[in-house]
Amino acid sequence: MLLTVVSVLLFADSIKITVDAESVYKVSAKDLEPMGWKDVPSDALALSMGGSPQYIYVNDGGDGIWSGDDWFAFVGTRMPGLGSTYDENTPNNTYLLTLDSSLSKQCWPLEVRPASEKATPSMLMGERFLEEDYLMMRFVEFPNESNEMWYWKELKCTDEKPFKITIPLEDLDPRGQAPIELETSAFGWSSQAHSQNQTDHQITVHINGNLISDTRWNGKGTHRWSTRFRRQWMQSTENVITVSVPYRTNDQDQAIVDVSVLNWIKLTYPKNPVLESGQHSWTCFSDRAVLDQKEDTLLLRSDGGWAWLNADSKSVIRSNSRDQKWHAVVGDHYRPPKALVRDNPTHWLQSSQAYHYLMISAPELMDAIQPLADYHRKKGLKVAVIDINDVYDECNYGQPHPRAIRDFIEHAYDQWQEPKLEYVLLVGDAGWDSRVDTARWSRYADDDHAWATIPFTEYNQKISRNLIPTYNYFPFEGHSASDNWFASVSGDDFVPDVALGRFPLVTPEEVTAVVNKTIRYMEQPVDEWMSRLLWITNEQRSFQNRSDKLAEKSKDRGLKSVKIYPESTEVSNEKNTQKILESWEAGLVIFYGHGGRFIWRTGPPDFRKNHDLFTLSDLDHLQNTDHLPIVLSLTCYTSPFDHPTADSLGEKLLRLPNSGAIGVIGASWRNSPSLQMAEEFVEALTIPGTLGQAFVRSKQKLNSRQLIETYNLLGDPAVPLRVMPFDGYVFDHQYENLTLQRSEPSWRDLRLFWYEGDTLNRTDMIKQNDKLEIEAPSQWDSLRIVCTVDDHIAVAQINKPQE
């Protein structure tokens, strides 16, 4: 037996136990046998949560070995939030089970005495916590992680009906004399600056028609209040709680603007000490608990005490503190864990690690991303593909959280060996509703639940999208997906230090498609379209002027521009939309103008035009199979990739398997992209380097934190840029003969495109070893020279001087 145990201790890894509610959970030895756990010493069973040991009650039949039908029980809770009841990044909590007697924290037996039939019932206080998260609100005045993000219901003074909640209280003590306490939390949203001798906010609560509270307060922010009322006002069957904001007017008979959002309601009530079949929890307000249980019962107390109580008997247990929480499982009504997963240990935090490129992937996408990792390895990069769960295990005790990702990258950047970490790719979409099983539009953004609405186009797939979370940055008016937070890991500034991109995808098929098109792009021979810039604006002259200025600068460097500028006099955008579709085959597409959510707009929506300039549905008509541009979208909302159910332009452009874009730089929130920002990005994207290097280089020159935080890169950051100018040529004085200089030995695939006017009248292909003197055609006006230098494309445009 000893040998068996030792072998288990040597080879057994920890087990991750996922729970999703406050409850007493039961794990049997048989559950863990398939994971290699068998015949383990009971006193070595150690449960922890967030690094803190947790009490467990072990039932091993008394032989000291946990095996066969043995089991253990523990009280599991949901992950608490920093400022909210529950952590908003996950609906679950993760407990780690290990074999380590030094960390084991086992329950101890309580003294139980039989109670006489005449024993006075104890005053047990039950608790009912009511909270639904339907309304996601970011209040920019309170921009830190500890503030609540999810609320239940907006309450306006103009609501036609009050908000009603119907609940039963089955275990309400019919004989209890203690009052019921109602505690409520709401957030005062409006701030009526001109109210006269009236408070900013007022909320009334009725229960079964009785006014329970009428609270008033001033200012914008969270307000909590509690009130007590007679037990008789509630019943064990149905109770109706009504919450409303009264309509008030000022001296001028104008409405006092009063809007709040309800967060939660907590009821504390006298609980029936007769324990029926099921699970119960309570606090005890007397120095002993007298219980009457109908079936065999396991009692667990928050101080680690446990007791077995026999069916149909009264028992007395001493109570030391009102702070102790009691849990009872009457009958075999344990809750099974949501998941039991063997945790295979990894060692990514070891400082001996050394990689250029980290691909942090959702586990189901790991296989699909491997070909891209292999491709970069062949090109000389050291690439690690890491399961996101290993990041959570090593940095956050197995608990999913964006902070774990940042801590991991920061550690890799600071502690790993040379080569210095340069690239990170997050393989998986993000979603700001962590309740992946229930994420659906109607929960948080329809007119019934949310006052703040966001138009949307739903993804085709109805599956979980929060595979790799992002960070919520707080710009004005709301929240914004910001992967930048993961990349700014050195110093106290907010500029990125590593080049981080994301594949906001959810299925292996999608990843394979994007990997394939990314590799195809990197393998493509030089071609003329790669050095073409497509400029698109809305109808405002200011954006057209800015684009003209940038296009002129790029022309000086040999890049060719195509412009699509809608005019305010046009009654329809159809012609411009068609032009965009036809001109999409470019190295770089730059949109500069107004963008609504998931669209490029002609201008402020004015109902004159019946559709927008470029929308999600327009992308279905793109046919640029192997001519994939990088898209720089200087507008609002191109890539709000954290929406749990709605698609976006940026995501779809990358996701399209045989068209769209190779990479998208776009914002996840409203913003005002400056001309300087546009210049920095265009400049960086048209010089040698990679997409990620250009992204970082541009941001490092910006001062606006909002722009830095809200612009994200969708795509592989290690993709080499293929658009840049070329200057190694000499013409004779009559422009009849061209000599190309081979100052760069790595030049290859040189092509010459001779134009007469806009007509291409000859193409020359020059191989690596060909002579570099070329006779010009008899008629030509301009020449475009395109060649490959390392992984970059060099381009020149030469205009023949007019005689």
Partner 1 sequence: MVLAAILFIVFPVVVQDEDAPKRTIRWKTASEVDNFGFDVFRGESEEGPFTKLNAKPVAGAGTSDEPRSYMWVDDTIDPDKAYFYYVESISLTGIREKFTPTFRVKPYSEDHPKK
d(CA 387, CA 405): 11
CB of 650 to partner 1, least distance (A): 15
CB of 654 to partner 1, least distance (A): 21
Chain contacts with partner 1 (rule: CB under 8 A): 154, 156-158, 189-195, 247, 253-257, 259, 451-455, 477-478, 593-597, 601, 603-607, 634-637, 670-673
User: Reduced to 3 states, what is the DSSP secondary structure of residue 358?
Assistant: strand
CB of 535 to partner 1, least distance (A): 16
C-beta of 458 vs 493, nearer to partner 1? 458
User: Reduced to 3 states, what is the DSSP secondary structure of residue 437?
Assistant: coil
- Please state the separation of Cα 321 from the chain's center in Å: 41
Q: What is the DSSP letter of 672?
A: -
CB 372 within 8 A of CB 519: yes
User: Reduced to 3 states, what is the DSSP secondary structure of residue 619?
Assistant: helix
CB of 257 to partner 1, least distance (A): 5
CB of 510 to partner 1, least distance (A): 27
* CA–CA–CA angle 669, 671, 676 (5° rounding): 135
C-beta of 10 vs 193, nearer to partner 1? 193
Q: What is the end-to-end Cα distance of the chain in Å, rounded?
A: 100
CB 363 within 8 A of CB 117: no
d(CA 92, CA 464): 15
CB of 28 to partner 1, least distance (A): 51
Q: What is the DSSP letter of 56?
A: B
Q: Closest Cα to residue 334, out of 91, 106, 126, 75? A: 75
User: Reduced to 3 states, what is the DSSP secondary structure of residue 192?
Assistant: coil
Both tokens assigned to 444: 């948080």
Give the DSSP H/E element, type plus range, for residue 512.
helix 508-523
CA dist list (Å): 551 to 530, 532, 563, 616, 763: 15, 11, 9, 26, 25
CB of 159 to partner 1, least distance (A): 8
CB of 603 to partner 1, least distance (A): 8
CB of 219 to partner 1, least distance (A): 12
d(CA 365, CA 585): 29
C-beta of 616 vs 634, nearer to partner 1? 634
| Pairing outcome for strands 45-49 and 124-130 | unpaired
Using CA atoms of 480, 673, 683, 492 in order, give the dihedral in degrees to the nearest 10. Answer: -50
C-beta of 168 vs 604, nearer to partner 1? 604
Q: Closest Cα to residue 724, out of 626, 791, 634, 659? A: 791
C-beta of 84 vs 671, nearer to partner 1? 671
CB 522 within 8 A of CB 375: yes
Both tokens assigned to 380: 């000389």
CB of 254 to partner 1, least distance (A): 7
Q: Closest Cα to residue 721, out of 634, 790, 650, 667? A: 790
Both tokens assigned to 780: 């030509």
CB of 151 to partner 1, least distance (A): 13
C-beta of 255 vs 730, nearer to partner 1? 255
CB of 158 to partner 1, least distance (A): 5
